[in-house]
């Protein structure tokens, strides 16, 4: 509660220089921790597999680099930008639009890979 002349007035949540409240920062951290853990797991697994097979190591590096390049394709940036702008116009904070887009997109890619592997088995 505020200690000014308005005893019924609630204090506004403190906002950082990024325009985020402490609660919003916490939500972002909670979302990004599993992503960081999964990324570290992926690099460790790639290192182990790469030490067993040089061609697989090269394919892993190539897939990662192509994935980074693919992530900044114009259609991806436009989709995320359009959704972010729409949510902002509605007065919402689109903190995780890019994260959800990438998770949805990568789920489709992994699903296609699994389908390819299953369909090419003898």
Residue 43 and residue 4 in one domain: yes
Residue 7 predicted with pLDDT over 60: no
Of the given ranges (4-8, 9-13, 84-88, 105-109), which has the lowest mean pLDDT?
4-8
- What pLDDT score was predicted for residue 81? 94
DSSP character at residue 15: B
Dihedral sign for Cα atoms in the order 36, 41, 42, 48: positive
Residue 65 and residue 5 in one domain: yes
- Which DSSP string do the residues of 33-98 spell out, in sequence order? HHHHHHHHHHHHHHHHHHHH-HHHHHHHHHHHHHHHHHTT-HHHHHHHHHHHHHHHHTT---TTHH
User: What percent of the chain is predicted at pLDDT more than 90?
Assistant: 30
Residue 65 and residue 81 in one domain: no
- Domain housing 106: 74-122
Q: pLDDT digits over 25-48, tens only?
A: 888 889 889 989 988 998 888 889
Residue 55 and residue 81 in one domain: no
Residue 87 and residue 44 in one domain: no
pTM above 0.75, yes or no: no
Residue 48 and residue 84 in one domain: no
Residue 53 and residue 80 in one domain: no
- What pLDDT score was predicted for residue 28? 86
Residue 115 and residue 101 in one domain: yes
Cβ atoms of residues 61 and 47 within 8 Å = no
Residue 48 and residue 3 in one domain: yes
Please compute the mean of the pLDDT values over residues 69-94 and round it to a whole number.
Answer: 92
- What pLDDT score was predicted for residue 8? 58
Residue 66 and residue 10 in one domain: yes
Residue 54 and residue 10 in one domain: yes
CA-nearest of 68, 47, 43 to 57 is 47
Number of domains in the chain: 2
Provide CB contacts within 8 A for 56, sequence distance 6+.
49, 50
Residue 48 and residue 81 in one domain: no
Dihedral sign for Cα atoms in the order 102, 105, 111, 115: negative
């Amino acid at each position: 509660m505020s200690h000014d002349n308005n005893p019924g007035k609630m204090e506004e949540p403190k906002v950082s220089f990024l325009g985020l409240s402490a609660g919003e920062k916490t939500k972002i951290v909670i979302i990004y921790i599993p992503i960081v853990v999964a990324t570290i797991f992926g690099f460790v697994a790639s290192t182990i597999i790469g030490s067993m097979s040089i061609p697989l190591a090269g394919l892993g590096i190539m897939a990662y680099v192509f994935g980074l390049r693919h992530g900044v394709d114009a259609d991806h940036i436009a989709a995320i930008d359009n959704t972010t702008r729409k949510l902002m116009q509605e007065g919402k904070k689109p903190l995780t639009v890019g994260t959800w887009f990438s998770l949805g997109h990568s789920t489709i890619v992994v699903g296609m890979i699994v389908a390819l592997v299953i369909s090419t088995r003898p």
